[in-house]
Amino acid sequence: MDTKISIIGAGSAVFSLSMIRDICLTPNLQGSTIMFMDIDEARLDAAHHLCQRYAREIGIELDLRKTTDRGDALEGADFVINTALVVGHHGMRAGWDIARKHGYRFGGSYHIMHDEAFWINYYQYVLFEEIVQDMLEICPDAWHLLVANPVLAGTTYLARKYPEHKFVGLCHGFGGVYHLADALGLEREHITFEVPGVNHFLWLTEFYYQGEDAFPLIDRWIEEEAPAYWQTCRASDGLGPKAIDLYQRFGAFPIGDTGNPGGGTWPWWYHTDAETEKRWREDPTGWYEGYFVHGAERVANIARWAEDESVQLTDHIAPKMSGESMVGIIESIACDIPRTYIVNILNDGEFVPGVPADFEVEVPALVSKRGIQGIQTNGLSAELIAYILHDRVAPVEIELEAYEMGSKELLLQLIMMDPWSRSMEQAESMLDEILALPEFAEMRDHYR
Ligand code: NAD
């Protein structure tokens, strides 16, 4: 196949290995050009070299290239996958350390103690926009697959502002439904489901196993097996006591990152203090420590395996598709193999009734040569839509407005929306301290 796929941020701790594996395990991509692009040369070289060796082991012919120049990467591209994180894990933590000192906790808004904090997002928006503008000039017909966060705000912002751009946001969080199926002992291939919502706020509203309603199976599992499961599961588990309480309260099951730290640890009332978190078996701090440690391990493994020619890579990276949707979506579009995927797009087809038409939703879509066609869902209850409007739409709108206007005042108002904000002085002193960090000088100049 004569397709060029460019990966921006190819050294990503989360995605590098899974993308390498999926590309090498997709025979339809044989003959394609894969361009690895990253600004970190060591990560770039390691990911590129590892992919070359893995492709050789699997026996697929790919033209694998690498560059640190984004223009080069985009030249002739048919697909661009964006997995870049500008401030890195250290940039997230630098801001969190300051926020914590000022009384902010996990479980508040998306925009402070979360990996979509305003200081992370600022640099992401700048990069996202540069990539889109470059693509519109260099490869205007290419598809842009945004995997880097913020997927929710990034999709809203880019799809609104650049309607001519072929764009989709992707997140693997919906896969939590398979975690639920596994716990219930259901075979994955026999479940069907609907999980409408916005990114990191997805709710299982329809769930069938072999054609039968599977919600009674969830209720039975809660009654008979959940207490034993909770004895051994890790803290902040997607099937932990908090998730079950949310299910019983809202009548729909929170899926993937909806209530866990990967999605902002929503909502705040399970996280008011250490004692409350313990009671709910919640530990967002420990969860993120694990995330950073695993990320660093993955990056170290890629470097080690890439260097050591004696390592049989398939012993370490099982030749099995990762479950991520990027490569499958590319195959569906490039080879016209229609399939349904969960995607992030604007709600312009009323896919989730009640969410504004120019705001992102995460919904099923039919993907083929004709593009990405959203599918209408049966939607969510009025109360869950109200939480989307309150906890997702409102802060994202304020943040995007602050970003567009370069307004420090709006940024302050965004911080005031966080449930842990108690006074203007608290919010201002945190904001000033974060903006004063030397690595955030560009952001400090932007927000006046
Ligand atoms: P990471 O820091 O390990 O990797 C990011 C990579 O981007 C690094 O190799 C870095 O050198 C590179 N990079 C930074 N600036 C760049 C630039 N200007 N151009 C090109 N490359 C650049 O981060 P990670 O933990 O792998 O996370 C990557 C992103 O994926 C984050 O935004 C994270 O929130 C997001 N994420 C998304 C999902 C999802 O399902 N959509 C899941 C987990 C993480």
**Three-state SS annotation for 30-59:** CCCEEEEECCCHHHHHHHHHHHHHHHHHHC
* Distance from residue 379's CA to the centre of ligand 1 (Å): 31
- How far is 311 from 89, CA to CA, in rounded Å? 28
Cα angle 12-13-18, degrees, rounded to a multiple of 5: 80
Percent of the chain with pLDDT over 90: 98
**Nearest CA to 325 among 165, 166, 147, 447?**
147
Contact (Cβ atoms closer than 8 angstroms) between residue 261 and residue 286: no
Residues 6+ apart with CB under 8 A from 447: 122, 402, 406, 407, 408, 411, 435
* 430 token code pair: 């945190």
What pLDDT score does 1 carry? 78
Average pLDDT of the chain is: 97
Determine the Cα–Cα distance for residues 441 and 439; give it in Å rounded to an integer: 6
Please report which helix (H) or strand (E) contains residue 365, including its range. strand 360-368
Characterize 232-244 residue by residue with b for buried, 16 or more Cβ atoms within 10 angstroms of its Cβ, and e for exposed: ebebbbbbbbbbb
Ligand 1, CB cutoff 6 Å, lining residues? 8-9, 11-15, 37-40, 43, 83-86, 88-89, 115, 127, 147-149, 151, 170-172, 295
| Atom of ligand 1 lying closest to residue 127 CA | 18
Q: How far is the CA of 149 from the centre of ligand 1 (A)?
A: 8
Q: Report DSSP state, residue 343.
A: E
pLDDT digits over 121-133, tens only? 999 999 999 999 9
Distance of CA 225 to the CA centre of its chain: 30
Rounded-to-integer distance, Cα 274 and Cα 276, Å: 6
Q: Is the pLDDT of residue 295 over 90?
A: yes
The vertex-384 CA angle with 191 and 253, nearest 5°, equals: 30
Bridge partners (DSSP) listed for residue 191: 209
Is 257 a known active-site residue?
A: yes
Tokens 């990253």 identify what position? 38
Say yes or no to pLDDT of 13 above 90: no
Query: Which residue is it, tokens 């950073």?
Result: 292
Helix (H) or strand (E) holding 199: none
Please give the pLDDT value at position 17: 87
Q: What is the pLDDT of residues 173-190, one digit of tens each?
A: 999 999 999 999 999 999
pLDDT (average), residues 138-154? 98
- Residue 108: pLDDT band with limits 50, 70, 90: very high
Residue 151 and residue 198: Cα distance in Å, rounded?
Answer: 10
Distance (Å) from CA 375 to ligand 1 centroid? 29
In the structure encoding, which two tokens stand for residue 104, read together? 């902010």
Kindly state the average pLDDT of the residues 54-83. 97
| Catalytic option among 172, 200, 271, 446 | 172
Strand segments (E) across 94-243: 143-146, 166-169, 191-194, 197-198, 201-204, 206-209, 212-213
Report how far ligand 1's centroid is from the alpha carbon of 11 (Å).
8
172 is catalytic: yes
Rounded to two decimals, what is the model's pTM?
0.97
Q: In the block, which residue shows the tokens 């706020």?
A: 201
Q: Of 22, 38, 115, 257, which residue is the catalytic one?
A: 257
DSSP 446: H
Distance (Å) of CA 113 to CA 25, 95, 121, 264, 300: 37, 9, 12, 7, 27
Give per-residue pLDDT as tens, 311-324. 999 999 999 999 99
